Each structure stands twice: as C-alpha cells, then as structure tokens.
Amino acid sequence: MFLKCKQFIALFIIYSLTLVATYWIYIHLFQVNVVLYSSMLTVVLAIIPIVVLLCVTKVNIFNLFEKCLICGLFIFYGYAIAISLPTVIDRSLSFYLLEKINQRGGAVKQEAFEAIFKNEYVPEHRLMEIRLTEQLESGTISIENNCVSLTQKGRNFVYFSQFFRRHFLPKKRLIMGEYTDDLIDPLKQTNDNNFNDRC
C-alpha cells in the first residue's frame, strides 16, 4: 500500500509538471483559437506520458482498474486547473475590476464602475470580438453578410441555459445588500418590441 501511494504521488507530480510545461509550450508556440479549448487540449496531451508510464513501462503495481482511475482522476484535476486558472483569468470581470482598482492606486468611486465597464473593459478586452470568436469556434453561431445567426447547436445551448437559470440558480441571491431573483431571467427587463438591430 505504501509503495502504491508513493508511486501515485510520483505520477501526480509528473502529470502536474507535464501539464504546466505542455500548456506553456502550446500558448507560446502555437496559435490559440479559444483559451478554454486550448487548455483542455493540453490536459489531454499531458496524460499521454502517464498512460505510457502505466502501460508500457514496468510500473505493474496498479491493476487495470486503478490505472484507469488514476488517468481519470488526473484528467479531472487538469480540467479543474484549466477552468480555474487560464479560463477564469482570461474572461473574469471580477479579476478585471480588481486590476482596475489597483491601476487607479487601490481605490475607485463605486459609481464609476459602470463607465469603466462600458468605456474600458469592452474595448480593452475586445470583449465582443473574443466572445463572437468563441461562439464561431464552438459552432453555436454563424456570420453571413454582417448578420450573426444562431445555429441549431446554439439554440440547444440557449434552451439549456434558460432551463438551468429558471430551475438551478439561486432564487435569493445577494446583490449589493439586497436578495433578489433578477438573474433567474436577466432578459426580462429588456423590451423586445423596440429591437431595431434584427437582421
């Protein structure tokens, strides 16, 4: 049992180092279409040396079930890292707000944040271009003649997200000192009779 624990820890360290190295090499030497997808690819690439060590070399102290379990566990660990670090930092408004407060010497007037979001966050992070690129790469939209249209896959995601919002998001969520269900249906405040941007 002690030998298995020792071997598992060694494999975990090897996977962690391989994951970081693979991600670093990938983002510096290759073109990245979507940060999340590239991170996930490096998670899969980093498991290859572990599979080789478990199946090809003489590391026979694990049975087949344990080997599969180790690989699955490492992939889930890699997925958690891919979501928690590069993806969150790349797209997090919360991190951006902290960086903006720091940029301005550590303190910003509360009423200034809406203007910061509109006038600085959207252009600095090229927010619309990045999100449209991600959706194009995901196959949820298509763009023809300057018209962005949902694909069937996109509609399916919308149905799922609306269902999830209604049934699995908190009904009493704290927003600036008040508990509200505003984010269960955030689009309800928009009057869809006044849309003049339809194709």
Q: Tens of pLDDT along 104-139?
A: 999 999 999 899 988 998 889 888 999 999 999 999
- In angstroms, what CA-CA distances link 10 with 15, 55, 79, 86, 118? 9, 16, 20, 25, 48
Domain assignment of residue 196, yes or no:
no
The domain boundary, picked from 58, 91, 124, lies at: 91
Instruction: Work out the pLDDT band at 192, boundaries 50, 70, 90.
Output: low
Q: Judge whether residue 87 has pLDDT over 80.
A: yes
106/146 same-domain check:
yes
The domain boundary, picked from 56, 91, 126, lies at: 91
The domain boundary, picked from 57, 91, 125, lies at: 91
- Residue 108 structural domain: 95-190
Domain assignment of residue 36, yes or no:
yes
Q: Judge whether residue 144 has pLDDT over 80.
A: yes
48/112 same-domain check:
no
87/105 same-domain check:
no
Q: What is the pLDDT of residue 103?
A: 92
Query: Which range has the worst mean pLDDT, 17-21, 69-73, 180-184?
Result: 180-184
The tokens describing 38, both together, are: 């590239």
Domain assignment of residue 137, yes or no:
yes
Domain assignment of residue 117, yes or no:
yes
Q: Judge whether residue 44 has pLDDT over 90.
A: yes
Would you state the torsion angle of the CA atoms of residues 127, 128, 130, 134, taken in this order, to the nearest 10 degrees? 130
Domain assignment of residue 195, yes or no:
no
Q: What is the pLDDT of residue 182?
A: 84
Q: Would you call 88 exposed, middle or buried from its count of C-beta atoms within 10 A (0-12, 13-18, 19+)? A: middle
Find residue 179's DSSP bridge partners.
Answer: 174
176/137 same-domain check:
yes
